[in-house]
Amino acid sequence: MARQKLVVLDAGHGGRDPGASYFGRQEKNDALNLTLEVGKVLQGQNVRVLYTRVDDTYDTPFEKAEMANRSNADYFISIHRNGMPTPTTGSGAESLVFENTGTANLLAENINSALEEVGFANLGIIERPGLVVLRRTRMPAVLVEVGFIDNEADNLFFDRNFEAIAEGIAKGIMAAIDAEETALPEYYQIQTGAYRDQELAQQMLEKLQDEGFPAFLVYEDDYYKVRVGAFLSLDNAARMEQNLRNYGYNTFMVRA
């Protein structure tokens, strides 16, 4: 049976750090309430949840990232409300990532799409490599800005659709989990040559096989590529690569 995924949910700000404020409404409170609700939805779908805070306490962004790293979590989601220098000029939801690639990008896209389905304007994905909770976390991490706290229309929508918003964020997370679980695994392979001439590639292949290596041919990008092994473990692939080098082969590792 597959291991339950562990999601760290971070309610932005807290304690002495209120985050964005608007006529007494504070981001830290909205973020905590929404984070706890998202957690309940995820737990109902057999996902393990760890919170960086469950009350009005303050931890530095670095401490929050370290909490997630110590837990060996699979994903980190930080929940916030947005704000603008000029109130009422912003509206909608967006997600921030360290780099707009891989699983973090998938998480952000899914969360944004789910919030758009709920009714928020989708403001897209923004790369913010300077944010500590995105830079220091060792798992895919996304910071979600759920509407603008300095926009009365966004606040009214947030309050009236609170449960649907929480379910939307959870839906986006679950979509990323499901996609990763159904994706084909990547393997490490050791390449020893790439040839335009199939006959030359075949000669290399037979030489490797005669020496007992599990070699095979791949035709890719107009080249016949000679590769050895297919390893899920990087350590096992590295040992094979070293063995091939001991036999005098020029090698490099690829993922396929």
Query: Do the strands 25-26 and 223-231 form a parallel or antiparallel pair, or are they unpaired?
Result: unpaired
Domain boundary among 133, 164, 182: 182
Residue 72, domain member (yes or no): yes
Between strands 141-148 and 75-82, the pairing is parallel
Question: What percentage of the chain has pLDDT greater than the value 70?
Answer: 98
Together in a domain, 165 and 225: no
> Is 1 among the domain residues?
no
Q: Are residues 116 and 21 in the same domain?
A: yes
Residues 59 and 108 in one domain: yes
AA identity, residue 33: N
State the CB neighbour count (10 A cutoff) for residue 32.
22
C-alpha dihedral (58, 59, 64, 66), degrees to nearest 10: -160
Using CA of residue 134, residue 136, residue 137, residue 139, what is the dihedral sign? positive
Residues 106 and 10 in one domain: yes
Considering the chain, what percentage of its residues have pLDDT values greater than 90? Answer: 89
Structural domain harbouring 25: 6-182
Whether 56 and 13 share a structural domain: yes
Check whether residue 131 and residue 214 sit in a common domain.
Answer: no
Mean pLDDT of the chain, nearest integer = 94
Q: What does each C-alpha distance from 165 to 37, 111, 130, 173 come to in angstroms? A: 9, 10, 27, 13
- Claim to verify: residue 37 and residue 127 sit in the same structural domain: yes
Place of tokens 């899920």: 232
Q: What is the CATH number of the domain that holds 219?
A: 3.30.70.1070
- 135 with 102, same domain: the answer is yes
* Strand-pair partners of 255: 188
- One domain, residues 72 and 133: yes
- At residue 255, does pLDDT exceed 90? no
Residue 146 neighbours by CB distance under 10 Å: 30
Predicted pLDDT of residue 91: 98
Query: Can you tell me the mean pLDDT for 155-166?
Result: 98
Same domain, 140 and 236: no
Give dist(CA 146, CA 172) in Å, integer: 13
Give dist(CA 226, CA 132) in Å, integer. Answer: 43
Which tens digits make up the pLDDT trace of 224-235? 999 999 998 888
Number of neighbouring beta carbons within 10 Å of residue 130: 8
Query: Does residue 139 carry a pLDDT above 50?
Result: yes
Q: What is the reported pTM?
A: 0.73
Give 1's pLDDT tier (boundaries 50, 70, 90).
Answer: very low
In the prediction, which pLDDT does 183 show? 66
Same domain, 219 and 196: yes
Query: 179 vs 205, which has greater pLDDT?
Result: 205
> 138 and 198: one domain?
no
Neighbours of 115 (CB within 10 A): 28
**pLDDT for 170 beyond 70:** yes
Alpha-carbon gap, residue 159 to 30, rounded angstroms: 9
* pLDDT tens per residue across span 185-220: 778 999 999 999 999 999 999 999 999 999 999 998
Contact assessment for residue 158 and residue 147, using Cβ atoms and an 8 Å cutoff: yes
